[in-house]
A and B are shown apart, each in its own frame.
Chain A
Amino acid sequence: MDTVVLENISKSYIKDAPPALENVSFSVKKGELFGLIGPDGAGKSTIFRILTTLLLSDAGKATVAGYDVVKDFHQIRSCVGYMPGRFSLYQDLTVEENLNFFATLFGTTITENYALIKDIYEQIAPFKNRRAGKLSGGMKQKLALSCALVHRPEVLFLDEPTTGVDAVSRQEFWDMLKRLKNEGITIVVSTPYMDEASLCERIALIQTGHILSIDTPDNIVAAYPGKLYALRSPKVHLLLPDTRSYEGIRQCYAAGEKLHVAFKEDGKDHPAQLLTYLKSKGHQTVAIQEIRPDIEDCFIEKLSNPK
């Protein structure tokens, strides 16, 4: 049986408003690093709160580590680790006091599972007498992760652990998650950053309470319909409306300094025709090149063409 199972979970906070989650189903295998990928307000935190027994769903069933989230919430609460989206430790307690407190609360000690948190905790150990509120963003996340891990949970729920953390710390954080996965801990992590999706084993793309697709990042990319091209030009901002007015365009959107373009059907001469068309519109120096789509491209594709 899978470690985390959701079956047709629905939840709405306000009556008559669009639901936060609608018929969400997915499952996470034991020892898997599973990512929930979606923008703010997609419903990621709601999923976490239902799985950690903090919220009751309106409909559907869910189990964590074989326990029902409604009936067996006591068992779930002692075998999972949870790191909420906001930094949620005691700001007026020191690093060490925080860790000690949570260790004792979970009926364990820091030394008992020190091997598990050693890599993480050693990085913040020099500041162990500093108040948690005075730590930098990356340090706070490391402390929060240590606290969520100190009782060696079976399942680890991390709600946007890398939001508001610098690029280096984000990379370190994902490296740590991989190590934890190797320890056999099942990890469910959410992120609004599409570039982090490829670091997960399997991902669920989620938007406005609906799952768009669930698969490995590679499969999701491979399932991208047709080819994707990148357009470059010194005047990208002027290029966008003109490209969109070309008839054969299926998708066209800005991605960094480029435009990503996909055509309705992959006729061979589309790229060349587009260039001619753009020249007639006054864009002389446009370069077009086929590229490999990434998760973000897949996400946008799914958003406009949900199956």
Chain B
Amino acid sequence: MKQFMVFVRKEFYHVFRDRRTLLILFGLPIMQILLFGYALTTEIKNAEIIIVDHAGDAASQQLTTMIAASKYFDINRSTASDEDIYKAFKQGKVKCAVVFPTGFGNDLLNGQVAQLQVVADASDPNTARTLTNYITAIVADYQQQVNPTANIPMRIEPVTRMLYNPELNGSMNFVPGVMALVLMIICTTLTSVSIVREKEMGTMEILLVSPFKPVYVVLAKAVPYLALAMVDFIIILILSVLALEMPVRGNLALLFFESTLFIISCLSLGLLISSVTRSQQTAMMVSMMGMMLPTILFTGFIFPLENMPLPLQLISNLLPSRWFYVIVKAVMLKGLGIGVVWKETLILAGMTLVLLTISIKSFKTRLS
């Protein structure tokens, strides 16, 4: 036991004395979370819009104010002319334009059909569609305000409710994915590199020619990285709550338990990589490239798994991160308990057990 503790302490020395390791360990999660949370998002915020107001009446101005108040739009100019629209689009400055025709307010109040034109830059079809949807929603909202009791016969009014994420906050989707990604990369890369380094430096020879059992070498390598990965997990959690305003609705203990399970499976993967590679560089390449891409592609946080062809969906099932992602979303965002995610937990636990067994079995007690 004393030997084990000394070994673990030695591992911590290695980590804290190597700037590169520290950077990966603490820089990577912070950078990823902030990147995915703020910079890389599919949401459209503050799109520039111009308003061409030929009506100039109360109704058109009220609507303009509402558009301006929305966080999706920034009004570039509110007194533009028709010609300005095309100029502005050509310059690429604005994404959308709204034109109020003369007599807009009158038409509305007199019970006629009031029209307004929405022009959008459809060279990016997704953005154009999203922006016109936003405008339509604002208009519908306004209509409701002006005439709450309008009694149009046979009207269907869909009442949508965005569950778990009423503000349609994009980082809700990303954070669990980034969590899986970061833990995966850190655990596999750092463990595999740290074991391969012992081989490369020749210290593995001395470790093996000692009474310290090879199995303990594996475990003593895993324990510090398990602890450090937990610290990372906490950092990500704090960052996403404080900076990205993510809720933690479920049981925190359950979340920690699931993360530990996932971390152990990643550590085992790292151990496995270390026993089949000979140089730190290969180990780094295999764990960074070989793990990062599948994790990004097949976890489901960027590309929905449901849309993938069946063979790819089957492949995705082999990734521990895919299950961890489902679990985190369920527990953290939906506040669900083990009763709902027991199946995913079981799969994850099974994978962890298999990976850990294989990696311990494949650890060589001799050279080559």
Contacts and interface: CB of A to CB of B under 8 A. Distances in A.
Interface in A17-65: 49, 52-56
B17 A77 contact: no
A99 B10 CA distance: 12
A112 B302 CA distance: 59
B282 to A, nearest CB: 20
A86 B201 CA distance: 8
Contacts of B201: 88, 90-91
B211 A77 contact: yes
Contact of B368 (A55, A78, A101): A55
A180 interface: no
Nearest to A56: B366
Query: Residue among A80, A90, A107, A147 with the most chain B CB within 10 A?
Result: A90
Contacts of B14: 90, 92
A169 B145 CA distance: 93
A84 B18 contact: no
B13 A92 contact: yes
A92 B7 CA distance: 14
A80 B206 CA distance: 11
Nearest to B205: A84
A84 B210 contact: no
A56 B206 CA distance: 17
Nearest to A83: B206
Interface in A69-122: 73-74, 77-78, 80, 82, 84, 86-93, 97, 100-102, 104-107
A77 B210 contact: yes
A55 B205 CA distance: 10
Question: A interface, how many residues as a size bin?
Answer: 20 to 34
Interface in B321-368: 365-368
Nearest to B18: A92
B209 A52 contact: yes
Contacts of A100: 6
Interface in B185-213: 201-203, 205-212
A229 B2 CA distance: 62
Contacts of B207: 105
A307 B212 CA distance: 44
B3 interface: yes
A80 B209 CA distance: 8
Contacts of A82: 205-206, 209
A55 B366 contact: yes
Contacts of B365: 73
Contacts of A74: 211
Contacts of B7: 101, 105
Q: Which 5 A-B pairs have the closest CB atoms?
A: A88-B202, A78-B211, A104-B6, A82-B209, A54-B367
26 contacts: A54-B366, A54-B367, A55-B368, A74-B211, A78-B211, A84-B202, A84-B206, A86-B202, A87-B202, A88-B201, A88-B202, A88-B205, A90-B14, A90-B201, A90-B203, A91-B201, A92-B13, A92-B14, A92-B18, A100-B6, A101-B6, A101-B7, A101-B10, A105-B3, A105-B210, A147-B206
